[in-house]
Each structure stands twice: as structure tokens, then as C-alpha cells.
Amino acid sequence: MSSDSGIEPEALENEKKNLIPAPKAKRILAFGMDFVLLIFVSALLYIYIPKLHGKETEAEFVRYTSQLSESFLSSQAKGSNPDQELIARFSEFTNRMNYEYWMTISYILYFFIGEFAFNGKSLGKATFGLQTVPKQPDLPMNRFQLVIRSILKGISCNSPILGGANLLFFIFDRKHRCLHDLASSTTTIQT
């Protein structure tokens, strides 16, 4: 007896057990595409977060970005370093807005929504024909796995230490799994 898709249930079961791991190059390209989108989201947050804090904060942001732009252009023309004091004040300003926090939350949400709403596929994964599935293919993907995976992946995009550790696991794990794959008992496959 065949299922609605025209494939025998036994064939579906065998297909699940013989999942093809995603090639390293495709995984790197898919993540690169996702990361470029996240940089775009970060730039939007960078512009709109000061607006949420009121007109005074927005004016301060415009003043700092203008001064930083002038400092970088002037230092480039003179062959010197930009104003370090100005950079430190701007860094304090972004800390007051909790920019890093909001950026990390947006990264986590991006990965969670992609994995949850689009059947284990972020935009980058969908483009390159990749999908996140449970490590044990006969079990369904659950939300807890997606939450763990998204949190670790989102934080690693904004943390050089965790991002580096994630990359090292990817390079040296024989099945090319990252920390977020291992912690969530998931893997990325070629569809």
C-alpha cells in the first residue's frame, strides 16, 4: 500500500535512515548568506534603536556618527589613528542602548523562526538545499531542540569565543557538526 506521496512507507523509512550529510562548502555558504542578512538586520537595529529611546538619544546618535565619520576620514587622510576617546564615548553610548543584547536577540529569533516556521531551513539553508533534522531521523524535531540550537547559534554569531569554538567543532568533527548541532541533537542534511 502506498502513501499519499506515492512512496512506500518502507521506502520513506529507509530514506530517513540514509540522510545525506550537508557538504561542508554548502553549509559554509548557507551560513555566510544568513550572516550577511544578519549584518543587514544589525545595521537596521543600529539605526532604529536610538529612535526608540527618544529624540534626545536619536540626536546624540546622529552627532556621534557624524563625529566618528569625520574622525575616520580625517585620520585616513593624515595616516593617523581615529579619535580613541570619541570611539570610547560612542561605545558607552551603544552600551546604554543595550545594542549588543538586542542584536543577539534578533539573531536568535532569526534562526528560531527559520528553523521552526520553514521546516528546519533558514533562508541560507533553503537556498542551498539544506535542512536541519533530528540526529535520530525517526524522531520528530521538537521546539526545545530548536530553542537550544537557535540560542547557541545566535550567541555564536555575536561572540568571537563561542563563534570560534563553533567553527572548530565544525572543522574537526568527523560529521561536520557545530556546537549547536551537538547540544540540540540535530544535524544538517542535503535535501
How far apart CA 116 and CA 122 sit, in angstroms, is 9
Report if residue 43 sits inside a domain: yes
How far apart CA 134 and CA 181 sit, in angstroms, is 9
Report if residue 106 sits inside a domain: yes
Q: How many other CB atoms are there within 10 angstroms of residue 165's CB atom?
A: 15
Positive or negative CA dihedral for 89, 91, 95, 99?
Answer: positive
How far apart CA 95 and CA 155 sit, in angstroms, is 17
Report if residue 181 sits inside a domain: yes
pLDDT band at 12 (very low <50, low <70, confident <90, very high): very low
pLDDT the model gives residue 13 = 46
pLDDT the model gives residue 18 = 63
Domains contained in the chain, number: 1
Report if residue 38 sits inside a domain: yes
Average pLDDT (41-47) is: 91
* 22: helix, strand or coil: coil
Q: Give me the domain span that covers residue 185.
A: 22-53+97-190
Average pLDDT (110-135) is: 92
Report if residue 89 sits inside a domain: no
pLDDT the model gives residue 17 = 52
pLDDT digits (tens, 9 = 90+) for 64-109: 999 998 988 888 878 788 888 989 999 999 998 999 999 999 999 9
pLDDT digits (tens, 9 = 90+) for 141-188: 888 999 999 999 999 998 999 999 999 999 998 888 899 999 999 999
| pTM recorded for the entire structure | 0.81
Q: Which three cell numbers stand for residue 66?
A: 557624524
Report if residue 84 sits inside a domain: no
Is the per-residue pLDDT at 126 higher than 60? yes
CA atoms within 13 A on the CB side of 69: 6
Report if residue 120 sits inside a domain: yes
